[in-house]
Amino acid sequence: MEYAAARLAPEPVRPRTNARAGRIDLPFAALTLLLLTIGVVMVLSASYARAYYSAATGHNAAYYFLRQLGFAIAGTVIMFVLSRFPMGFYRRMSFPLLAVSVVLLVLVPVVGVAQGDARRWIDLGFTTFQPSEIAKAAVILYFSALICRYKAAMSTFRYGILPFAAILALIVGLLVLEPHFSAAVIIIAIGGVMLFLGGARLYWFAGVGAAALAGLGVIMTFFPYASGRISTWLDPFANTSGDGYQIVQSLYSIGSGGLFGLGLGQGRQTYMYLPEEHNDFIFAVWCEEMGFVGASALLLLFAALIVRGYWLALHMRDRFSFLVTAGITTLLAIQVILNVAVVTNLVPCTGISLPFFSYGGTALLIQLAEMGIVLSASREIPAWRT
């Protein structure tokens, strides 16, 4: 009864006491735009050779750059438009967004576009997109709304674990069918972080971890695609002309950059040696052209954005805004860390893009939309805290 009462009790409404309320957080916005600008320029540097030699682009060396620039401009507009909506709007839209993402994931095996061994994309005619990107944002928003609804009952299995586990199982199951294991790992990690922040009992995480390990064993047994990635990761130089080719070329790119790099646009691996050079492996091109110093500077910029995001989360006036901001910031941190880890062969090769850098229009739009939600939440931080 006490849990039910706590779950149904209305949240207190905090009056605005801040005359400056309504301003977005300028440091967060500036860091986002700076990384976006560098990323768009880097797409040109990394892709012009492939675009020039490809008949699909009409031998236009600026093909990928112009498309990414267009999406970047559109995404920036979307970011600032979404920053104007109150957080109550995102709370109301959290379930519809989750439902749409599930429907799209169901459609992927039916109408999706296959590339290699995976079918993860839906073709819109002018571009393709991965519904898994929408699912990531939907999980953060809906989990935040559920946590605020259940409140003190989050310490129970019925309210604090069961509904969240059911949602994760559904989404992860659909992703495994594609297969898209990297997105599944990210969504499981995000779900775990949201439950931790929501107040779920810590001992439940031990059970979830055991289930995750069991699931990994099943995947390794029944999906040769995954086990092959593990073997390549352990010894990429065993087959440098086959499965290990991409990661070996990535390591060559990073190593050849030295301390200060070869210079912007001077990378050698972009000349059709490194696959996905303007996409998932764009960080390797950055290392080759900007060197160790440039790579460190870029990681510091990402770190500054992530730290600022957590700072904003800690100063939010309500729980929903805190959870959403912390969740989106964690998603950004996970993707940056995993992308860099993949490029440097610290973890098995998976399809994880580098936020604001990797080529991909709809993914960039969604990332900037997520930044817009954080900026929306930042408007409600009292002025004396900023």
The pLDDT tens digits of the residues spanning 79-96 come to 999 999 999 999 999 999
Structure confidence by residue, pLDDT tens digits, 70-82:
999 999 999 999 9
**Structure pTM?**
0.89
Task: Report whether pLDDT(144) > 60.
Answer: yes
* Cα–Cα dist 305/329, whole Å: 8
Place of tokens 């009409």: 58
pLDDT class for 227, splitting at 50, 70, 90?
A: low
Structure confidence by residue, pLDDT tens digits, 165-210:
899 999 999 988 887 888 888 999 999 899 989 887 777 777 666 7
Structure confidence by residue, pLDDT tens digits, 189-198:
999 899 989 8
Query: What residue ranges in the chain does DSSP mark as E strands?
Result: 113-115, 118-123, 128-129
Task: Report whether pLDDT(246) > 80.
Answer: yes
* Cα–Cα dist 385/21, whole Å: 11
Tell me what pLDDT residue 56 has: 82
Check residues 130 and 40 and name the one with the higher pLDDT: 40
* Cα–Cα dist 32/76, whole Å: 10
pLDDT class for 12, splitting at 50, 70, 90?
A: very low
Structure confidence by residue, pLDDT tens digits, 247-300:
999 999 999 999 999 999 898 999 989 988 999 999 999 999 999 999 999 999
**Residue 182 contacts residue 361 (beta carbons within 8 Å):** no
Tell me what pLDDT residue 383 has: 57
Structure confidence by residue, pLDDT tens digits, 321-342:
999 999 999 999 999 999 999 9
Tell me what pLDDT residue 4 has: 45
Task: Report whether pLDDT(3) > 50.
Answer: no
**CA end-to-end span of the chain:** 40
Q: What is the DSSP string of 97-150?
A: HHHHHHHHHHHHHHHPEEETTEEEEEE-SS-EE-HHHHHHHHHHHHHHHHHHHH
pLDDT class for 222, splitting at 50, 70, 90?
A: low
Tell me what pLDDT residue 20 has: 41
pLDDT class for 137, splitting at 50, 70, 90?
A: very high
Six-digit token pair at 378?
Answer: 């930042």
Tell me what pLDDT residue 29 has: 97
pLDDT class for 381, splitting at 50, 70, 90?
A: confident
Other beta carbons within 10 angstroms of residue 292's beta carbon come to 14
**Residue 357 contacts residue 283 (beta carbons within 8 Å):** yes
Check residues 149 and 228 and name the one with the higher pLDDT: 149
Burial 263-277 (b: 16+ CB within 10 A, else e): eeeebebbeeebebb
CA distances from 70 to 64, 151, 364 (A): 10, 42, 11
Least Cα distance to 80 among 377, 369, 383, 379 occurs for 369
* Cα–Cα dist 135/91, whole Å: 15
- Among 105-109, 296-300, 346-350, name the most confident range: 296-300
Tell me what pLDDT residue 217 has: 64
Tell me what pLDDT residue 384 has: 43
pLDDT class for 1, splitting at 50, 70, 90?
A: very low
**Residue 141 contacts residue 375 (beta carbons within 8 Å):** no
Tell me what pLDDT residue 7 has: 46
Beta-carbon contacts of residue 90 (< 8 Å; ≥ 6 apart): 141, 324, 373, 376
Check residues 18 and 54 and name the one with the higher pLDDT: 54
Check residues 151 and 324 and name the one with the higher pLDDT: 324
> Per mean pLDDT, which range of 45-59, 101-115, 202-216, 328-342 is the poorest?
202-216
* Cα–Cα dist 222/112, whole Å: 22
Six-digit token pair at 282?
Answer: 């764009």
